[in-house]
Amino acid sequence: MVSAVLRRPTLTAFFSEMNRRAFLAMGMRSIVGGALAAIFAPLRQAFAGTSPRPRYFRRIVTRDNRSTALIEWQSDESLTSPKFFWREAGNKTELPADVDVKYFALDGHPMFVYRAALSGLTAGKVIECRLEASGRNAGTFSFRTDGGGTLQALIFPDSQCQTDYDTWARVSGEASARHPDAALWVNMGDLVDNGGSFSHWDGWQAAADASLGGRAFAPVMGNHECYSIDWEYCRPDAFLSLFGAPENGSVNYSRYYYSFDYGPVHFTVLNTQQEELAAFAPGLFEEQAAWLARDLKETKKPWRVALLHRDLIDYDAEPLTRDPFVETLVPVLEANGVDAVLTAHAHAYHRRRLRNWKRDQNGVLYIMTGNAGNCFYEVEPHEIDEIAFPDNFLNYLTLEANETRLTFRCFLPNGILKDFATLRKQAETSE
Ligand SMILES: [Fe+2]
Ligand SMILES: [Fe+2]
């Protein structure tokens, strides 16, 4: 399964910066055709024919997905008197949830992002939600809370696309249709190619909206979320505005990094944009380092999985070297019992078992997750790699976990299994 056809290391995309600007000026298609059925009916169907029309309803992960949920949606215009109600399936009584709204302009486009935070939910139950706006029923949205037992999740590598987001629509759509029981989506960063572009975000969201359904979504920030419309480094304002990821206790950098539990897994989502955010986020990486050790020590979940956008290896360096920032995280992750580390950024699939940067079959499982968009890079294998597939194929991963087993599988969009790895541990016995 190990490839012998890997080329020179470069993270330069096949498009020049000038081409990127010309492409952005052209705009792009924002409506993705061929949508696969969502597991829960999106609200847009019930709201058709009225104006303004809320869209892109989705559920974002919370720290505890058994008892809480965050539902988001958007509108181009302010909704009149939005009211959000929820109930457990089978109950007649609806409970209200507060609705917050955030306005921001993205690339000249007005955006109203609404959020309803639900609490007091019961684990493993179907929750039925209803939105009212302008005094009228605006539709319904349903999801199932985390039951706390087993977990199946879909892991998508970089989904950034150029020209349109049809590739992302195809990969996410086929994966979601093939794994209807997956309760969680993770996108490993570089969701979009240009984090300041309305057309990029609308392309990503239209594609996601077609297949995410009631699954919980965990966004990981990538370096491309920190690029302005002029391709300068910037604060990830659009990313932070669009996704209400869990708070992390930080005064200045809430949601830049975070953690959450789903099933038997504790996920720790780290920010690796040290270079891009150097001028905008003083102190971010020092506070994240202190938080990381605390976060990993506090969890009682059987499995700890860290999600990083940047990989262990700096593929821009020649010869290849360790990524200087990720190198500071590795000892903390390994000293605090992390079982698996998922990375992205290089748009290729590499798998390793390492301890202190040395191959070790009892070490931490590191997977560089691949590519779910249409930007193809050229990378070469490194001595730490156990598996290094050739780049330029599209893929997604599944994660399946119970108390004693954690399995990752790498699939092509057509469902062909390319690779898998399983970790096992003894169940802890209570006295
Ligand atoms: Fe990246
Ligand atoms: Fe990327």
Same domain, 140 and 273: no
- Residue 429: what pLDDT? 52
Q: Which amino acid is at 83?
A: K
Provide the number of structural domains found in the chain: 2
Cα of 168 from ligand 2 centre, angstroms: 13
Residue 179 sits at the vertex; the CA angle it makes with 351 and 366, to the nearest 5 degrees, is 15
Q: How far is the CA of 134 from the centre of ligand 1 (A)?
A: 42
Q: How far is the CA of 373 from the centre of ligand 2 (A)?
A: 9
| 20 in a structural domain | no
Label each residue of the chain as H, E or C: CCCCCCCCCECCCCCCHHHHHHHHHHCCCCCCCCCCCCCCCCHHHHHCCCCCCCEEEEEECCCECCCCEEEEEEECCCCCCCEEEEEECCCCCCEEECEEEEEEEECCEEEEEEEEEECCCCCCCEEEEEEEECCEEEEEEEEECCCCCCEEEEEECECCCCCCCHHHHHHHHHHHHHCCCCCEEEECCCCCCCCCCHHHHHHHHHHHHHHCCCCEEEECCCHHHHECCCCCECCCHHHHHHCCCCCCCCCCCECCEEEEEECCEEEEEECCCCCCCCCCCCCHHHHHHHHHHHHHHHCCCCEEEEEECCCCEECCCCCCEECCCHHHHHHHHHHCCCCEEEECCCCCEEEEEEECCEECCCCEEEEEECECCCCCCECCCCCCCCEECCCCCCCEEEEEECCCEEEEEEECCCCCEEEEEEEECCCCCCC
What's the pLDDT band for 4 if we cut at 50, 70, 90?
very low
Domain match, 166 and 277 both: yes
Q: Ligand nearest 223 Cα, by number?
A: 1
pLDDT for 194 equals: 98
Please indicate, yes or no, if residue 23 is contained in any of the structural domains.
Answer: no
Is residue 5 in some structural domain? no
**CA 276 – ligand 2 centroid, Å:** 14
**CATH number for 139:** 2.60.40.380
Quick check: is 12 in a domain? no
Domain stop point among 119, 144, 169:
144
Residue 233 lies in a domain: yes
pLDDT of 17 higher than 90: no
The residues, any chain, with a CB within 8 Å of residue 126's CB and separated by 6 or more, are: 88, 89, 142, 143, 144
User: Does 193 lie in the same domain as 124?
Assistant: no
Examine the domain organization and report whether 181 and 209 are in the same domain.
yes
Q: Across-strand partners of 308?
A: 270
Q: Is residue 431 part of a domain?
A: no
What pLDDT, on a 0 to 100 scale, did the predictor assign at position 393? Answer: 94
- Name the pLDDT band for 51 (thresholds 50, 70, 90): low
Q: What is the pTM of this model?
A: 0.89
| Ligand 2 ion: residues within 5 Å (CB) | 158, 190
Q: Among candidates 370, 310, 42, 44, which has minimal Cα distance to 175?
A: 370
Residues 169 and 297 reside in one and the same domain? yes
121, 144, 167: which is the final residue of a domain? 144
Task: Tell me, in angstroms, the distance from the centre of ligand 2 to residue 3's CA.
Answer: 21
Quote the ligand 1 centre to 272 CA distance (angstroms): 10
Are residues 57 and 195 located together in one domain of the fold? no
Q: How confident is the model at residue 196 (pLDDT cuts 50, 70, 90)?
A: very high
pLDDT tens, position by position, 361-419: 999 999 999 999 999 998 999 999 999 997 789 999 999 999 999 999 999 999 999 99
Q: Has residue 6 been placed in a domain?
A: no
Instruction: Verify that 283 and 409 share a domain, yes or no.
Output: yes
Q: What φ, ψ does residue 137 adopt, rounded to 5°?
A: -65, 125
What confidence tens digit (pLDDT) does each residue in 61-87 have? 999 999 999 999 999 999 999 999 999
Cα 125 from chain centroid? 24
Dist. CA 311 → ligand 2 center (Å): 11
161 and 132 part of one domain: no
- pLDDT given for residue 53 in this prediction: 83
Confidence of residue 428 (pLDDT cuts 50, 70, 90): low
pLDDT, one tens digit per residue, over 137-168 is: 887 899 999 999 999 999 999 999 998 999 99
User: How far, in Å, is the centroid of ligand 2 from the Cα of 387?
Assistant: 20
- Tell me the residue range of the domain where 80 lies: 43-144
* Ligand lying closest to the C-alpha of residue 347: 2
Same domain, 177 and 139: no
The pLDDT of residue 29: 26
- Whether residues 250 and 266 share a domain: the answer is yes
- In this structure, what token pair is assigned to residue 267? 């996920």
Specify the CATH number for the domain of residue 173. 3.60.21.10
Q: State whether 329 and 246 are in the same domain.
A: yes
Q: What is the pLDDT of residues 164-184, one digit of tens each?
A: 999 999 999 999 999 999 999
Is the model more confident about 16 or about 139?
139
Give the closest residue to 388 by CA, choosing from 9, 7, 1: 1
Residue 353 corresponds to which amino acid?
Answer: R
Tell me the torsion sign for CA atoms 379, 385, 390, 393: negative
Question: Are residue 63 and residue 119 in the same domain, yes or no?
Answer: yes
Question: Measured in angstroms, how far is the CA atom of residue 158 from the centroid of ligand 1?
Answer: 7
What backbone torsions phi and psi does residue 177 show, to the nearest 5 degrees? -70, -35
The answer to the question of residue 52 being in a domain is yes
Determine which of 22-26, 155-159, 273-277 has the lowest per-residue pLDDT on average: 22-26
* Ligand nearest to C-alpha 309: 1
Q: How far is the CA of 82 from the centre of ligand 1 (A)?
A: 37
Q: In whole angstroms, what is the distance from residue 57 CA to residue 43 CA?
A: 7
CA of 168 from ligand 1 middle (Å) equals 16
Tell me which of 144, 173, 204 is where a domain ends.
144
